[in-house]
Amino acid sequence: MSLSSAVLTSVPPAGRFSAEQSLKVYDLMLRTRLLEERLIAMYKQGDGYFWIGGPGEEAFNVPLGILANKGEGVDHDYLHLHYRSSGTLLAMGADPVDSLRQMKNVASDPYSKGRNFAGHFSKRAWNIVPVSSPIEVQFSIAIGTARAQRAGTGAKGITIVQGGDAGTAEGDFATALVWSSRKGNELPMLMIVTNNRFGISTPFAGQHGYEQVSDRGKAFGMPTAVVDGNDPEASYAALAKALEYVRTERKPYLLEAMVSRLRGHSSASGANVAKNEVDCLERFEHTLESRAVMTRAQMESRRAAITAELLEASRHVRDEAPPAPGTIWDYVFTDKNHVGGER
């Protein structure tokens, strides 16, 4: 992979965050990382059945959450995310305790009422479309919300869809490229590929006949870019540019973020720390230290405070009730007699 050359040529030099922005982004990245570490600890202690999440995607996903136009309906952005999107949710204002609830599969989990895997977000008030376990189907589903927001409808929001690199081999990704780019019928859709160079245990090299997934967008006449997703300032700049284009032109854009996978694919492979991967949080800490925005001691005390907060929250969640068996069919069928009702 020619990451460095692609990154240098395809994205304009990132503007630096102010001290205030740096602290905000750092806090969200740190909080996201510590939330994932708590989820992994819960899984290992038997307080959950499966873990999958986003350690290594914070530097990209946090800016995405900050820049999204949050709200319900077509005047706000629809987000069709993936199972590594915790940074985006926290940056939008989600309470980390809700992720702990989904991990423990308790009834108070607002995303799935205790029925789905960790990281499977869903929030109608913020247009967070339910995260899907079958990979890449979000790229087909996103066409629907993008059509509801296309030029001429008067809708102000856009559709943002995100998935991994391996998933782009699925037909859904090609479907989104075709449907979003038809001349005169273009869709306001930001397509994001978060490329960690792996699909579970299958390496990128050898599976794809191109250097960058985003190059595929060129054949469909859409702007494309590759960004260093381990750099929050570069990610912020690349996202701001792509969002501005889709919002004003009402046309598609394909953005590829090169990210790390710091904990293996999921708990199925042990969720152990990966070797030889760039850690975006460590890197940002060095940057903040060298710019004298934060000291090591301040970072350590922030880390200790959030760790304690999450530990305390997980103790409460441990005592919360699982969903009642009688609710098994709730939210499965649209029949209003079944949604949320007793059977």
Nearest to 89 by CA among 117, 66, 113: 66
Least distance from C-beta 117 to ligand TPP, angstroms? 11
Least distance from C-beta 295 to ligand TPP, angstroms? 34
198 lies in the binding site for ligand TPP (CB under 6 A): yes
**Type of residue at 290:** S
Least distance from C-beta 72 to Mg ion, angstroms? 31
Place of tokens 């912020």: 236
Q: Which is nearer to Mg ion, 166 or 226 (CB)?
A: 166
Q: How far is CA 130 from CA 81, 181, 252, in A?
A: 8, 25, 22
What is the DSSP-derived secondary structure letter of residue 122? -
Distance between CA atoms of residues 17 and 66, nearest Å:
13
Select from 8-16, 106-114, 192-200, 287-295 the region that touches ligand TPP (CB under 6 A). 192-200
Distance between CA atoms of residues 191 and 224, nearest Å:
10
Q: Which is nearer to Mg ion, 198 or 220 (CB)?
A: 198
116 lies in the binding site for Mg ion (CB under 5 A): no
Q: Are 323 and 116 in contact (CB under 8 A)?
A: no
84 lies in the binding site for ligand TPP (CB under 6 A): yes
Print the binding letters for residues 37-66 with ligand TPP: x by CB under 6 A, - otherwise: ------------------------------
Least distance from C-beta 195 to ligand TPP, angstroms? 7
164 lies in the binding site for Mg ion (CB under 5 A): yes
Site for ligand TPP in 127-166 (CB under 6 A): 133-135, 163-166
Checking phi first, is residue 184 left (phi over 0); if not, alpha (psi -120 to 50) or beta?
A: left
In residues, how long is the chain? Answer: 343
Q: Are 306 and 31 in contact (CB under 8 A)?
A: yes
User: Which residues contact ligand TPP (rule: CB under 6 A)?
Assistant: 84, 133-135, 163-167, 196, 198-200, 265
User: Which residues contact Mg ion (rule: CB under 5 A)?
Assistant: 164-166, 196, 198
